[in-house]
Amino acid sequence: MWGAARFLLCSLLLATLHGTETAAQETQPDPKTPCANWMGGAPGYPGHNGLPGRDGKDGKDGQKGEKGEQGEQGPKGDNGEIGSRGVEGPRGFPGNPGMKGEKGEGAYVYRSAFSVGLAGRAPHPNVPILFSKIFYNEQSHYDATTGKFHCSIPGMYYFAYHLTVYLSDVKVSLYKKDKAVLFTYDQFQKNNVDQASGSVLLHLSAGEEVWLQVYGEGENNGVYADNINDSTFMGFLLYPDLDLH
């Protein structure tokens, strides 16, 4: 019985609540009428900011602004590659003559030469042959009284001799500073006039002497000269030593 009473009570409560909601709905004024706010509540709080909207379309370009101030100069850039060679330009006009230079030292020419001949026949052996016939001896470097050439200019010299051989064999030698440096031997042919010759290059120092002489005994002294046959001796300087320049 207690359960039936509880069921009945719940049913009445539900009916009462339903009736009350229906009446409220029927008596609710239209919010659009002037009297709609006569029973309105207090204003609510502002809501939260909504989410940002999407980007709009790009606008049109504005007018060109005024020219700004010049900026600071930047650092120097790297050197560029060398360009190709340009076309050669036209030839210029001749320049004005320069000033006259100072007078230089004159080049000195060193000279030393002689050429001599035998005046008679059969010179003495083992002593310098006296060539007393002078063809050339401008510097006087050959001494006709001794038969010797005296070196006054150190350097390289050329010497040569050409001898007529007659009546006997000939043995001659060229001496430099008391030492024989060249020998010549010619065997005489009976009833014939022969020739003996020799030549050499020698370096001489100042004061050295060169001469020609017969060596051996008297039977090897066939050096000859007369009015139609000559026996000659000559020499000259090729070039002086460098330290003279």
> Residue 219: what pLDDT?
74
pTM: predicted TM-score of the whole model, two decimal places = 0.56
Confidence of residue 92 (pLDDT cuts 50, 70, 90): confident
Per-residue pLDDT tens over the stretch 111-159: 999 999 998 876 788 899 999 999 999 999 999 999 999 999 999 999 9
Of the candidates 201, 157, 163, the residue with the CA atom closest to the CA atom of residue 182: 201
Distance CA 5, CA 168 (A): 196
DSSP assignment letter at 128: B
Distance CA 62, CA 79 (A): 41
Confidence of residue 105 (pLDDT cuts 50, 70, 90): low
- Residue 77 in 3-state DSSP? coil
First to last CA, the chain: 164
More confident residue, 32 or 179: 179
Domains of the chain plus CATH, in order, are 113-240 (2.60.120.40)
Task: Please give the mean pLDDT across all residues of the chain.
Answer: 82
